[in-house]
Amino acid sequence: MSFRTIVITRQSKISYKNRFLVVKKENEERYVHLSEIDTIVVDSISVSLTSYLLKELADNKINIIFCDEKHNPFGELSSYYSRHNSSKKIHRQITWKQKDKNELWTKIVQNKILNQALLVKRIMGNRNELLFGYIDEVRTGDKTNREGHAAKIYFNLLFGKEFVRNAGDSINGALNYGYAILLSTINKEVVSNGYLTQLGIHHKNEFNQFNLTCDLMEPFRTVIDQFVYYNQNRKLDIEYKLAIINILNNTYQYGGKKYTLKDIIKLYVSNTLEVLEKKKEYKEFIYDEE
């Protein structure tokens, strides 16, 4: 099973040779076998890549994320044909019943609010009854927007009442970077399972290429939130970003067993999509302890 995240931060050329990723920097040349690689982050606009390498990365379902001149993720490589029966899966995705999607979204929102409430309890040392109360108040499809109400209370408790989500401060910068890494990781799994990221369960923005991914990533946001909370006075430099990326290798509980976050995401995405496909029970990711 692949396990390495490769981050390239300096001017270099990366290419493919005999099942190896080849990274050339000045007089230095390094080789990494493709079977070891899960994700590549190209964190420099001075990196050149061969088309042969891109083709091999797509064939091997290796995620590659590209960053801009400000070192923020702006895009990724995704294969058209990550599964042999994608056409069949997409046809079924288009015909998912709204009732089933609403029921699943209800469970996802409850899962997300539970993780938020557990994180606040863990950090603050006391139980916030309002957050825990919202879990039982979620109606089918979250018609009363308990998710939005919970988010306002949650972020104010973590970062103060003056905090505004998506402002241009370093806390939001770190959150957005972490969420982008999550988004890309979940995109890979959605495509690998044969589905379109554009067709969501709840999110339906015509300008969003990742509606389904945005649905599925909600319970995992608290993993990033906690890390940023404990590092909120830290400058968002390359070391901080590498630490955020490394969260994917941390170990957490899922279904009574311990896995890396990357493996949990793989299992969660597959299970959650099977809730709609095969009427399986939704399996929560409860972010309670490492």
Identify the pLDDT of residue 289: 57
Angle at CA of residue 92, ends 91 and 93, nearest 5°? 90
Structure tokens that stand for 224 in this block: 């990033």
CA atoms of 65 and 54, how far apart (whole Å) = 12
Residue 230: name the closest of 171, 156, 182 by CA.
171
Identify the pLDDT of residue 5: 87
Identify the pLDDT of residue 288: 78
CA atoms of 158 and 122, how far apart (whole Å) = 11
Q: Are strands 63-67 and 37-42 parallel, antiparallel or unpaired?
A: parallel
Report yes or no: 258 and 247 within 8 Å, Cβ to Cβ. Answer: no
Report yes or no: 99 and 141 within 8 Å, Cβ to Cβ. Answer: no
37-42 sheet: strands from edge to edge = 4-8, 37-42, 63-67, 73-77
Identify the pLDDT of residue 267: 97
CA atoms of 196 and 80, how far apart (whole Å) = 10
DSSP state of 83: S
Identify the pLDDT of residue 279: 85
For 73, list phi and psi in degrees, rounded to 5: -60, 135
Identify the pLDDT of residue 2: 63
- Residue ranges in the chain whose pLDDT is less than 70: 1-2, 81-82, 289-290
DSSP state of 169: S
